[in-house]
Amino acid sequence: METFDRISSLLEYVTSLPPSLDREIYSSIIREHHDEISLLRILEESSPSDQKYHLFRHVIFITFLKKKSYLSLGSFKLNIGVTFVGFPMSIPLSGYLFPKNQDLASLPEIVRSFAKTQKGTVVVLNSGIDIHKGHLTESVFVFEHDFDAFETYIDATRSSYHKKIIQSLRKGSSLITREIEPSEFSQEHYDLYLSVHERMKQKLITMPLEYFRTCPAVIIEIRDERQLLAFVQLKEISGILYFILGGFRKNEEEYPFPPPLSHIDLYYNMLLLVLRYGILHRHKRIVLGQTAAESKCKLGAHEELTYLYVTSSNPFVRGFLNLFPDLYSFAPYGVQHNVFKEKDRDKPKDPLPQETMA
């Protein structure tokens, strides 16, 4: 196994390999996962988290270490050092990259074997495949569609869901949205992010202000006539649009002026803004993240399970983890919302509120 502290070092190593199967496979991973590699480069500079990159059995693994961390998964908390296999940011990407033509049946054993090479407690996050006994991280909520316009999406929703969406949009009809450059991201925007981050149950990584200012992503701010209310950060990775991070205050009294709508309706408008952007820009798969399951599913997203593996080189910790998996494995949301009506049903008559654009 080869280990690197920088993506540039890994790339130089792969390039320097003599013609071989290893060089061919690792080169194909780098080509096929160009967007993920580029994002890791950005994170090295803007949000360093002791990332390391490992070449192991024709898979590239990404790890980061939390030297003083609560292993807080579900209701289980243990104050220990943890090596995470995952992306060092709040995005539901797995912490390993492999060739797209790889036989998936072999991956669980490779991932488990790699985790066992690491000292201490190891947590593999957001795997797209079952690594060990169906243990889960938080589910991902994904909006997949074939709509040609945002209005078509609204028209396709069933009565009760349609009514809620229209009500939220009407309450937000006075909102002003504007896409800003990352360099325009201010302390005021960042404070909104911190407000959300502090409310999260799982605070794995706090992204610094510099990350928002340097990451080439789409940032859309939401204002009323007097103040900044919220923002969303979106990024396309390998053709998929990700709602990465956002910011707003849950307590309306924390804003300088009373907002024109409740925090619930503001959040709905943020999610609908993400869907509007994704549909407009022809993103057929929009990943909405791993929180607020009910709100996202009631807008038409579906739940996708992501898997977890936890082990330790300490036999006592490992034995405890094996005995009590329910303490750290998440339960799925599991509720089915029948959001969309049959295509041949009549369209609702409610007009769609128009959004004010700066």
pLDDT above 70 covers a percentage of the chain that reads 92
Task: Tell me: pLDDT of 341 over 80.
Answer: yes
Q: Are residues 79 and 131 in the same domain?
A: yes
- pLDDT value for 71: 53
- Which of 9-18, 286-295, 345-354 is predicted with the least confidence, judged by mean pLDDT? 345-354
Residue 36 belongs to domain spanning: 2-138+305-327
Percentage above 90 pLDDT, the chain: 80
Which residues is 307 bridged to in the sheet? 127, 136
Task: Tell whether the model's pLDDT for residue 346 goes beyond 50.
Answer: no
Q: Which band of pLDDT confidence, cut at 50, 70 and 90, is reported for residue 344?
A: very low
Residues 243 and 158 in one domain: yes
| pLDDT tens-digit map of 203-257 | 788 999 999 999 999 999 999 999 999 999 999 999 999 999 999 999 989 999 9
- Give phi and psi for 272, each to the nearest 5: -65, -30
For residue 356, what pLDDT band results from cuts at 50, 70 and 90? very low
pLDDT of residue 167: 96
Question: How many CB atoms sit inside 10 A of residue 250's CB?
Answer: 14
Q: What is the predicted pLDDT for the residue at 272?
A: 98
CA distance 95 to 86: 3
| More confident of the two residues 343 and 326 | 326
Whether residues 114 and 173 fall in one domain = no
pLDDT exceeds 50 at position 275: yes
Co-location of 173 and 288 in the same domain:
yes
Task: Considering only residues 206 and 327, tell me which one the structure prediction assigns the higher pLDDT.
Answer: 206
Range with the poorest average pLDDT among 260-264, 296-300, 339-343: 339-343
Asked if 316 and 216 sit in the same domain, the reply is: no
Residue 154 and residue 61 in one domain: no
CA distances from 103 to 107, 139, 265, 304 (A): 7, 24, 45, 21
Residues 128 and 221 in one domain: no
Instruction: Say whether both 28 and 145 belong to one domain.
Output: no
Q: Do 203 and 349 sit in the same domain of this protein?
A: yes
Q: For residue range 22-78, what is the model confidence (pLDDT) as tens digits? A: 999 999 999 999 999 999 999 999 988 889 999 999 999 999 987 655 555 455 555
Tell me the pLDDT band of 287, cut-offs 50, 70 and 90: very high
Residues 348 and 217 in one domain: yes
Structurally, how many domains does the chain consist of? 2
Mean pLDDT along residues 133-143: 95
CATH number for position 217: 3.40.630.30
| Reported pTM | 0.90
Nearest to 43 by CA among 51, 34, 55: 51
**Quick one: pLDDT at residue 74?**
52
Q: Are residues 125 and 179 in the same domain?
A: no
Q: How many CA atoms lie within 13 A of 26 on its CB side?
A: 25
Contact status, residue 352 vs residue 169, Cβ threshold 8 Å:
yes
Task: Please tell me whether residues 156 and 299 are part of one structural domain.
Answer: yes
- pLDDT band for position 79 (cuts 50, 70, 90): low
